[in-house]
Amino acid sequence: MAWFEREFIAVPEERKNQLVFKWPDVNIRRYSRAIVNADEIALFVQSGRVIAAMGPGRHRIDAAELPVLGALVDTVTGGNFYRAELYFVSTREFPGIRFGGRLADILDPVSEQVVTLRVFGEFALTVRDPAELLTQLAGTADLTDQQRVQSWCADLLLKAMKIAVTQGISRGDWQVLGLSAQLQPIETAVLRQTNTALYEYGLRIPRIGNFDISLAPEDAERLKRLAKDVKYIRLTGDFQRYAAGELALGASQGFAHGHHHGADGGFLGAALSLNAIGQQVGTHSAAPQLPPAAPAAGQVSCAACETANPAGARFCMNCGARLAPQPRHCPSCGAESAASAKFCGACGTPMPGG
């Protein structure tokens, strides 16, 4: 029974989805049959060197078909075994491998804000050269551990994407808020750099699928808010007017939610104050004010606003301030007397209407 079990060598059904499968026994019985599937290649490795390869099909393991194995016959067992490691390497494409995480903290040239970029997606992995995979990557990662190999490739891909995106934004080729529209050139640049690093290990990433680069939620909200502020300031032409409008809007929203007292009163007051300031600034910027004209003869000038009023007016027609009484002159000597004087202080002549 033991002899029959070792008659055929093949990848077990439950291991067919592995990138690399290693036959567990290094003593391979002479004349055994190796079954290599259409999407596989079998490699004999001895002392870290590939000594023979078998393509898809059924193969008899002996020196007649694989002459290089003749020198590896174990004489201790009477020449019935070959001592070598046998690997089955899949040549098909492995899609749907997930990658992602924090990409980089980068300065947005447009807003001059430091933001955090993140990326999440999938990529496909395939073997470019099975021999180089076994000889170059064997000391770096356990080739039979599928998750470890895929994780190692995902880290290389993430590193390449970090470099490509950072350089593209720094050069001004891509904008932080418009990265979703640049996925195709980003994929091309990342694949070129990643496959350059994977080339010596016999691996290749043919494509990246369903990936997206996004901002951290708080950074996205901050940039959107900033973009809106800049747009509105350009429309109003003045920061004070925009700020007053925003404060008034916030106060109205507070009243709508039933907050009529306390901080909302001060908030509305600040909004109205800023609005008044904005109106004053707009008035001064629109047309410079000229000094008030001197009052005509027989008119009274208001001490508060300098508006000219009729001679008999007691209150200013513009601001309502009380007008100062006008002095009277003596009809006899012409001396100036107080408005309430009954006699001239200079000559004693009775004042008219006194």
pLDDT tens digits, 26-52: 888 888 999 999 999 999 998 888 988
Please state, in angstroms and rounded to a whole number, the distance separating the CA atoms of residues 174 and 297.
73
Tell me what the mean pLDDT of segment 103-125 comes to: 84
Q: Which of 126, 98, 93 is nearest to 210 (CA)?
A: 98
State if pTM tops 0.85.
no
Query: What are the backbone dihedrals phi and psi of residue 150, each rounded to the nearest 5 degrees, phi first?
Result: -65, -40
| Residue % of the chain over a pLDDT of 90 | 26
Instruction: Decide if pLDDT at 186 tops 70.
Output: yes
The mean pLDDT value of the chain amounts to 78
pLDDT band at 315 (very low <50, low <70, confident <90, very high): confident
What is the tens place of the pLDDT at every residue in 169-183? 888 888 887 788 888
In one letter, which amino acid is 49? R
| Per-residue burial over 259-271, b = 16 or more CB atoms within 10 Å of its CB, e = otherwise | eeeeebeebbebb
Q: Which of 70, 83, 25 is nearest to 6 (CA)?
A: 25
Please state, in angstroms and rounded to a whole number, the distance separating the CA atoms of residues 289 and 283.
9
What is the tens place of the pLDDT at every residue in 271-281? 445 455 455 54
Tell me what the mean pLDDT of segment 245-272 comes to: 51
Residues 137 and 48 sit within 8 Å (Cβ to Cβ): no
Please state, in angstroms and rounded to a whole number, the distance separating the CA atoms of residues 18 and 147.
10
Query: Which one is predicted more confidently, 139 or 2?
Result: 139
Residue with tokens 């043919």: 206
pLDDT band at 1 (very low <50, low <70, confident <90, very high): very low
What is the tens place of the pLDDT at every residue in 140-171? 667 778 888 899 999 999 999 999 888 888 88
pLDDT band at 87 (very low <50, low <70, confident <90, very high): very high
pLDDT band at 286 (very low <50, low <70, confident <90, very high): very low
pLDDT band at 127 (very low <50, low <70, confident <90, very high): very high
Measured torsion, CA atoms of residues 162, 167, 173, 176, in degrees rounded to the nearest 10: 50
Q: Give percent helix, percent strand, percent coil of the chain, each to the nearest 5.
A: 40, 25, 35
Instruction: Decide if pLDDT at 227 tops 90.
Output: no
Please state, in angstroms and rounded to a whole number, the distance separating the CA atoms of residues 34 and 9.
5
Instruction: Decide if pLDDT at 287 tops 80.
Output: no
pLDDT band at 320 (very low <50, low <70, confident <90, very high): confident
In one letter, which amino acid is 178? G
pLDDT band at 12 (very low <50, low <70, confident <90, very high): very high
Output the pLDDT for position 248: 53
Tell me what the mean pLDDT of segment 329-343 comes to: 77
Query: Which one is predicted more confidently, 222 or 95?
Result: 95
Residues 194 and 156 sit within 8 Å (Cβ to Cβ): yes
